[in-house]
Amino acid sequence: MQTDSNFIFVLFGGTGDLSMRKILPALFEAHRAGMLAAAGKIVAVARGVETREAYLGWVEEHVKPHVAKNGVVDESAWTGFLARVEYVHIDLGRPEDFRILRDAVAQHDGTRVFYLATGPSLFVPICRALAEVGLNQNARIVLEKPLGYDLESSNAINDAVGEIFQEEQIYRIDHYLGKEPVQNLLALRFGNALFEPLWRREWVESIQITIAEELGVEARGDFYDNTGALRDMVQNHLLQLLSIVTMEPPHSMDSDSVRDEKLRVLRALKPIDERDISKVAVRGQYHAGVIKGQSVPAYATEPGVRTESRTETFVALKVEIENWRWAGVPFFLRTGKRLADRVAEIVVNFRPVPHSALGANALRAGANRLVIRLQPNETIRLYCLAKQPGEGMNLASVHLDLAFDQFFREGQMEAYQRLLLDVIRGRLALFVRRDEQEAAWRWVEPILNEWAVSTKPPKPYAAGTWGPAASSAMLAQHGTCWLEEEN
């Protein structure tokens, strides 16, 4: 479906890595699919190159490889896309330069979208400069994570941006909410009578949410060493996925109905007492190791990282939700860098049958399970028990697959593409509201504070493994294990 109105998409940080790898490729795919209004324009803002011609050359070099399909680019679509792209060379540290941007934007009609693909320290100065030249009217502002370093700094940014833009103008992006399986999770739960009656404490034994990366900190050592996995991944991505998995059915799919239900989950998270943090939270840091046959260095030797750094590159948490639906069900959240594989998945372990006449296999943990794979291959897989062919009643685990790329002929929409189209169309449901963000920061702060003063270093783990042994031990205390350990 094509956007129903013209737009001006202003991209701050137009030469940055995020713009090259994600934002411009997503806009190109929307253009190629005919989903952007014909007169819609993209205005890139940066100071790294001087002219539009130089910028288009930069885009040709850095964006084109990310839009190739089997090494081939649709040249006709690419040419048409570049015709949409304009460039404004300004210094973000000079508010008077924003008059140049104002004059460029004034040449086009339509909804104004300002995407801040910059560091969070520039969010407030950019917003203030936009307001000074009158560009905060009829506009939407997109803020990338991380939004602050803790609750206090997050509130400071939100307060300052909120003085310039109304809450309904602010789109705090979390790209995991735009992924196809996350959308299908809502359809699975609320569109099928089969699952919703089982989606509660009486039938669910435990739930795991994992976001694992093979990559290390790459060229982001300076940033990451002052951030860590808890801020970078748990406070936003993992808690947002948890709220989607566990929220009550909204009365509709409008933006505030969905976000109201997510907020109720975040506010129902059981507070973590500082004395219990060591029991329910594991932090680790990768040492040198081997990933798929290639030796990789320890975190402490990565460029930009302090030699004696205690920043965590791995976090595993046991979480509880204090409400009627989920009381007593353990939720295990995990994320880390330099792990054995790149995977993001949600694992719902249903309780075994209360009594089996078919043998012990029917009572074993994990016999009934739903696995929602977010990456790399987006699938939903339902595991159950079936009789093996032959003599006797021997049970084996089988699964039913929903592989999106095989079932649906049309290609899947990448997360950023969906979210950018929602911004242009004014849809807020898949973006994080301020009170959600505050609730998430408030819950993680005791862990942040305890780790900041702790004399114990993060637990070491070799690159290419699944993290510290303490992570597995935490699950073992509850009679379960991570999915890959069972397999």
Task: Point out the annotated binding site.
Answer: 47, 91-92, 145, 175, 179, 213, 232, 337
CA 284 – CA 336 distance, rounded (Å): 8
Distances (CA, A) of 105 to 102, 220, 321: 5, 32, 47
Q: Which long-range contacts (CB under 8 A, 24 or more apart) does 72-81 make?
A: 74/32, 77/28, 77/31, 77/32, 78/28, 80/31, 81/27, 81/28, 81/31, 81/32
Q: How far is C-alpha 486 from the geometric centre of its chain's CA atoms?
A: 26
Instruction: Say which of 31, 62, 237, 478 is annotated catalytic.
Output: 237
Give the annotated binding-site residues for substrate: 175, 179, 213, 232, 337
Question: Is 31 considered catalytic here?
Answer: no
Q: Is residue 81 within 8 Å of 102, Cβ to Cβ?
A: no
Residue 240 is classified by DSSP as H
- d(CA 224, CA 226) in angstroms, rounded, equals 5
CB 332 within 8 Å of CB 318? yes
The two beta strands, 111-116 and 139-143, are: parallel
Residues 125 and 131: their CA atoms lie apart, in Å, by: 10
Q: Which of 161, 167, 151 is nearest to 443 (CA)?
A: 151
Pick out the residues of the known binding site for NADP(+): 47, 91-92, 145
Q: Is 253 helix (H, G, I), strand (E, B) or coil?
A: coil
Residue 107 class from Cβ within 10 Å (0-12 exposed, 13-18 middle, 19+ buried)?
A: exposed
Measure the CA–CA gap between 169 and 136, rounded to whole angstroms.
9
Q: Which residues are catalytic?
A: 237
